[in-house]
Structure 1
Amino acid sequence: MTPQEKAKDLYDSYWYCLFQSNIEKRNYWSKQCALIAVDEIIKVCPYIRQKDWETLEQLNAANIYFVEYWNEVKQEIEKL
């Protein structure tokens, strides 16, 4: 899933859960909830277990990709 698709997916998940009468508030809170979720995902990056990777280089590459992907998702959420 591309960062743009993931951003929309997260946003939509919250949008359908938030039953605000005001669409602007619903849009705002959907974005805020999705951004909070992504921030929490990024925070767990240091806890990816090293034993799951053969080398430290593989672990570092995975962590960099992981954080880059979720930062792109954040940027896409902010565009919604």
Structure 2
Amino acid sequence: MGEIVTVPPGESRSSFAVCPPGQKAISGGHLLGDGLVPTASNRIGTNTPDDTWHVLMYHPANDDRGTPNDGRAIAHCAA
């Protein structure tokens, strides 16, 4: 699982889930708090090609609560 990222209203943030050495991200996804919208969810290379799942999250400024929300990337890894 990627790091938990806090996204303030009206802003975007990224989370990266890196696979263990020797493995690649074969798929992935995200866990998003209320109000967060995934604007990108894709495999990238961090240490080696295709070893990371990236999620870009957006928090619409018109959220009723106006409070930051948390989200994180999830990688499904295999050798």
User: What TM-score, normalized to structure 1?
Assistant: 0.29
- Which structure has the bigger radius of gyration? 1
Structure with a larger share of its residues in strand: 2
Structure with a larger share of its residues in helix: 1
